[in-house]
Amino acid sequence: MKLVVIGFGQCGGRIADEFARLNRRARAQRGIEIITGCFAVNTDAADLTGLSNIRPDYQHRILIGGRKTSGHGVGKINELGAEVAREDGDKVVDAIRTAPRFFESDAFLLVAGAAGGTGSGALPIMTQLVKERYGDKPVYTLVILPFQHEEDTEERTVYNSAVCLKSVNAVADATFLIDNQRYIRKDFSLKNNLAQINALIVEPFYNLLCAGEEKKSKFIGAKMLDAGDIIQTLVGWTVMGYGKSQLPVFRFPFERSRNFRKKSTETHKGIQAMDEAMGELSLRCNPMDAGRALYLLSAPAKEMNMDLVKELGDYLNDIASGAIIRNGDYPRERGVLDVTLILSELNDVERVRSYYNKSTSFISVAKKRQEEIEDKLRGVEEASKDIPSLL
């Protein structure tokens, strides 16, 4: 599957930068193109300068809202971010057309953080615009939810997230939900932690996108998972998971036998990878709420067998019994057995519901607070009415 990736704001731009790195890796290791165009869109020039993998020209790093922000961002005001996106949206669409292999793309993936200003505001506006211009291709969004400490200390964070999620859900074909909090490593520095989080967010897409673009016959799976399967799976609220088990890199000739212990170990490795994928879902949810699911098994060809595929299918069917399940295999990895898991068409997401409830109370509290401030200002003006002015 080939994607056009567009990142909005600081968070979205850095995730898009990771997708550009992922495409470079796929090209070097496998001779495959999985990203036909990678763009970063921002109102802050400094954020665009800090990227490493996206081309540095103005058609790939796109500055919008220069007249209103002077290249210094919108200061977490997502209404301003949305307004700027409406005014300069055509600049982004024109840049997308410049990608030489754009018309090979299977879908769009638009990325942003839910809590910020530029990304949160621009994401739904641009999703709608891209859908209007390119109605034949699905448009997916990847929304990064804020850290817990941001929710606790910044009321605007919850409000921005709720507005962004509601708006995006109304226009996108599917929305990947990513909880930043689940990827934190306590002993990392701030910069390294964020870089590591971005890499972990993007990693599950690697085999998923490569499997359907494989060119060498020996790496084509017995049941290939292609763009059609992915498109039919992705609907509404969606989460991803990724898990892996280490395998012996070297085996002695003729070592493979019908020993029951070895066969049991192979199946156990697969279940272990599926367990990890389920435990490391991008957002905590109940798998029983999923209407559609997909998993991709990737391992050396000799390590995959019908028993393993059956066990994984039964496992997923038990915990997501209401879902239509698609699966595939990709005999590419060496020394590793990994599982990429998608749960889609979630009918209930507790975190999203929590944002909606909190933001509703925030709106009433903010309105009351504003009225109190205005009353106090009027009181100060009344007290000063008899004092002469020098103006």
pLDDT tens per residue across span 74-89: 778 888 889 989 988 8
What backbone torsions phi and psi does residue 234 show, to the nearest 5 degrees?
-80, 110
pLDDT at residue number 346: 92
Whether residue 253 has pLDDT greater than 70: no
Per residue in 38-60, pLDDT tens? 999 998 888 888 888 999 888 89
Whether residue 354 has pLDDT greater than 70: yes
Whether residue 190 has pLDDT greater than 60: yes
pLDDT at residue number 290: 92
% of residues, the chain, pLDDT over 70: 92
pLDDT at residue number 187: 57
Q: Which residue has the higher pLDDT, 306 or 256?
A: 306
Candidates 119, 185, 169, 113; CA nearest to 145 is 113
Q: Which residue has the tokens 């990890």?
A: 276
**pLDDT band with cut points at 50, 70 and 90 for residue 17:** very high
pLDDT at residue number 143: 94
pTM: 0.87
pLDDT at residue number 248: 67
CA distance 144 to 120: 10
Q: Which residue has the higher pLDDT, 190 or 158?
A: 158
pLDDT at residue number 387: 82
Whether residue 390 has pLDDT greater than 80: no
% of residues, the chain, pLDDT over 90: 34
CB 124 within 8 A of CB 78: no
Whether residue 188 has pLDDT greater than 80: no
Whether residue 385 has pLDDT greater than 80: no
Q: Is 129 helix (H, G, I), strand (E, B) or coil?
A: helix
Task: Report the mean per-residue pLDDT for the chain.
Answer: 85
Mean pLDDT value of segment 23-40: 92
Mean pLDDT value of segment 120-130: 93
Whether residue 108 has pLDDT greater than 90: yes
- 280 burial via Cβ count (<10 Å: 0-12, 13-18, 19+): middle
Q: Which residue has the higher pLDDT, 368 or 254?
A: 368
Mean pLDDT value of segment 338-353: 91
What backbone torsions phi and psi does residue 291 show, to the nearest 5 degrees?
-95, -20
CA distance 200 to 222: 28
Whether residue 322 has pLDDT greater than 80: yes
**pLDDT band with cut points at 50, 70 and 90 for residue 305:** confident
Whether residue 277 has pLDDT greater than 60: yes
Q: Which residues of 318-331 are buried (b: 16+ CB within 10 A; e: fewer)?
A: eebeebebbbbbbb
pLDDT at residue number 166: 93
**pLDDT band with cut points at 50, 70 and 90 for residue 171:** very high
pLDDT at residue number 220: 86
Name, of 12-16, 248-252, 298-302, the range with top average pLDDT.
Answer: 12-16
Of 3-7, 8-12, 213-217, 351-355, the one with minimum mean pLDDT is: 213-217
Output the six-digit token pair for 63.
């500055």
CA distance 305 to 301: 8
| CATH class in words for 237-344 | alpha beta
- Per-domain residue ranges of the chain: 3-202, 237-344
Whether residue 358 has pLDDT greater than 60: yes
pLDDT at residue number 173: 94
Output the six-digit token pair for 384.
């000063």
Reported as type and span, the H/E element at residue 38 is strand 35-42
Q: Is 70 helix (H, G, I), strand (E, B) or coil?
A: coil
pLDDT at residue number 261: 52
- 196 burial via Cβ count (<10 Å: 0-12, 13-18, 19+): middle
Domain 3-202 has CATH 3.40.50.720: no
